[in-house]
Chains A and B, each alone.
Chain A
Amino acid sequence: MSERMSNEAVVERGLDALGASGVGAGEVFLKEARSGSVEIKDGAVENVIARGERGIGVRILDAQRLGFAHSSDLSEEGIVACVEQAKRMSGVTEPDADLGLATRPLDDVDLDIFQRGLEDRAVGEFAEVALAVEAAARQADPRVTHFRKTTASHAVASTIIATTTGVRATYRESYTGAMTSAVATEGGERQIGYHGEAARRFGELDPARIGRRAAERATDKLGPKPFKTQKLPIVLDPWMAMDLLRAIAPLFSADNVLKGRSLFAGKVGQGVANGKVTIVDDARRPQGLRSAPFDGEGVATTTRTLVEAGVLRGYLTSLKTARKMKVEPTGNARRGGYGSPSRIGPSNYFMAAGTDDAAALTNALDRALAITSLLNLHTIDPVSGEFSLGATGNYLERGARAFPVQGITIAGNLTHLLNAIVGVGTDLVFGPGGLGSPTLVISELSIGGA
Chain B
Amino acid sequence: MSARDAEHALRTALSRGGEWAELFWERHQTLQIVFDDGRVEDAISGLDQGAGIRVTSGERTTYANGNVADADDLIALAGRAARGVEEGGELHDATSVVPDEVAGHSTVAIDPRDVPVGRKVTLLRRADAVARGLDPRIQQVTATYAESIQDVVVANSDGLFRTDRRVRLNLAIHVVARAGEVLESGFESLRGTNGFEMLTDEAVAEAARMAARRAVLNVGAEAAPAGTYTVVLSSEAGGTLIHESVGHGLEADLNLKGLSVYSGRIGEKVASDLITVIDDGTDPDKRGTAAIDDEGTPTHRTVLIEKGVLRSYLSDRKHAEKLGIARSGNARRESFRFLPICRMTNTMIAPGTSDPAEIVRSVKDGIFVKKMGGGQVDVVSGNFAFEITECYRIRDGKLAEPLRGATLVGQGPKLMSEIDMVGSDLGYSTGTCGKDGQGAPVADAQPTIRIPSVVVGGKLK
- Residues A73 and B387 in contact in the complex (CB < 8 Å), given A146-B259, A259-B36, A260-B140: no
* Cβ-based interface call for A149 (8 A): yes
Q: Nearest CB to that of A379 among chain B residues?
A: B387
Which residues of chain B are within 8 angstroms of A92 by Cβ–Cβ distance? 33, 40, 43, 117, 121
Q: Mark A397-420, 1 if CB is under 8 A from B, else 0.
A: 000000000111111100000000
Binding site of A, secondary structure by majority: helix, strand, loop or mixed?
Answer: strand
* Cβ-based interface call for B228 (8 A): yes
- Residues A50 and B65 in contact in the complex (CB < 8 Å), given A68-B42, A375-B378, A390-B385: yes
Task: Name the contact of A260 in the complex, choosing from B44, B61, B178, B259 (C-beta under 8 A).
Answer: B178
Q: Nearest CB to that of A1 among chain B residues?
A: B72
Once the chains bind, are B44 and A69 in contact (CB under 8 Å)? yes
- Residues A72 and B48 in contact in the complex (CB < 8 Å), given A50-B84, A259-B140: yes
- Quick one: which of B26-73 are within 8 Å of A by CB? 33, 36-37, 39-50, 59-67, 69-70, 72-73
Q: In whole angstroms, how far apart are the Cα atoms of A117 and B58 in the complex?
A: 30
Once the chains bind, are B378 and A192 in contact (CB under 8 Å)? yes
Once the chains bind, are B339 and A1 in contact (CB under 8 Å)? no
Once the chains bind, are A341 and B44 in contact (CB under 8 Å)? yes
Once the chains bind, are B48 and A47 in contact (CB under 8 Å)? no
- Residues A75 and B184 in contact in the complex (CB < 8 Å), given A376-B374, A379-B387, A409-B409: no
What's the nearest-Cβ distance from chain B to residue A225, in Å?
A: 14
Once the chains bind, are B59 and A376 in contact (CB under 8 Å)? no
* Cβ-based interface call for A115 (8 A): no
Once the chains bind, are B411 and A407 in contact (CB under 8 Å)? yes
Which residues of chain A are within 8 angstroms of B67 by Cβ–Cβ distance? 52-55, 72
* Cβ-based interface call for B303 (8 A): no
Which residues of chain B are within 8 angstroms of A412 by Cβ–Cβ distance? 459
Once the chains bind, are B45 and A69 in contact (CB under 8 Å)? yes
Q: Nearest CB to that of B41 among chain A residues?
A: A93
- Residues A2 and B63 in contact in the complex (CB < 8 Å), given A92-B33, A409-B407: no
Task: Name the contact of B69 in the complex, choosing from A73, A381, A386 (C-beta under 8 A).
Answer: A73
Q: In whole angstroms, how far apart are the Cα atoms of A385 and B219 in the complex?
A: 12
What's the nearest-Cβ distance from chain B to residue A10, in Å?
A: 12
* Cβ-based interface call for A339 (8 A): yes
* Cβ-based interface call for A355 (8 A): no
Task: Name the contact of B47 in the complex, choosing from A49, A72, A123, A221 (C-beta under 8 A).
Answer: A72
Q: In whole angstroms, how far apart are the Cα atoms of A66 and B42 in the complex?
A: 7
* Cβ-based interface call for A183 (8 A): yes
What's the nearest-Cβ distance from chain B to residue A40, in Å?
A: 10
Count, chain A residues at interface, CB 8 A: 83
Which residues of chain A are within 8 angstroms of B176 by Cβ–Cβ distance? 260-261, 383
Q: In whole angstroms, how far apart are the Cα atoms of A410 and B378 in the complex?
A: 17
Which residues of chain B are within 8 angstroms of A381 by Cβ–Cβ distance? 184-185
Which residues of chain B are within 8 angstroms of A45 by Cβ–Cβ distance? 60
- Residues A46 and B228 in contact in the complex (CB < 8 Å), given A190-B380, A259-B37, A375-B378: no
Which residues of chain A are within 8 angstroms of B185 by Cβ–Cβ distance? 261, 381, 383-384
Q: Mark A377-400, 1 if CB is under 8 A from B, else 0.
A: 111010111111110100000000
Q: Nearest CB to that of A194 among chain B residues?
A: B378
- Residues A389 and B257 in contact in the complex (CB < 8 Å), given A47-B61, A190-B381, A261-B140: no
* Cβ-based interface call for A242 (8 A): no
* Cβ-based interface call for B230 (8 A): no
- Quick one: which of A229-262 are within 8 Å of B by CB? 229-231, 258-261
Q: Which of B164-172, B193-201, B289-297, B450-458 contacts A (4 or more CB under 8 A)?
A: B450-458
Q: Mark B92-134, 1 if CB is under 8 A from A, else 0.
A: 0000000000000000000000000100010000000000000
What's the nearest-Cβ distance from chain A to residue B163, in Å?
A: 20
* Cβ-based interface call for B373 (8 A): yes
Once the chains bind, are B184 and A383 in contact (CB under 8 Å)? yes
Given contacts A78-B69, A388-B458, A450-B455, 8 further A-B contacts (CB under 8 A): A50-B64, A51-B66, A52-B80, A54-B67, A55-B48, A148-B259, A258-B37, A447-B226
Q: Which 3 A-B pairs have the closest CB atoms?
A: A409-B457, A390-B385, A448-B226
Question: Which A residues have a C-beta under 8 Å from some C-beta of B?
Answer: 1-2, 41, 44-55, 66-75, 78, 82, 85-86, 88-90, 92-94, 96, 123, 146, 148-149, 183, 190-192, 221, 229-231, 258-261, 263, 339, 341, 373, 375-379, 381, 383-390, 392, 406-412, 446-450
Question: Which B residues have a C-beta under 8 Å from some C-beta of A?
Answer: 33, 36-37, 39-50, 59-67, 69-70, 72-73, 76, 80-81, 84, 117, 121, 139-140, 176, 178, 181-185, 218, 224, 226-228, 254, 257-259, 337, 339, 373-381, 383-387, 404-407, 409-411, 434, 436, 455-460
* 9 A-B pairs (CB sep. < 8 Å): A53-B66, A72-B47, A75-B69, A230-B460, A259-B36, A377-B376, A383-B183, A446-B458, A448-B458
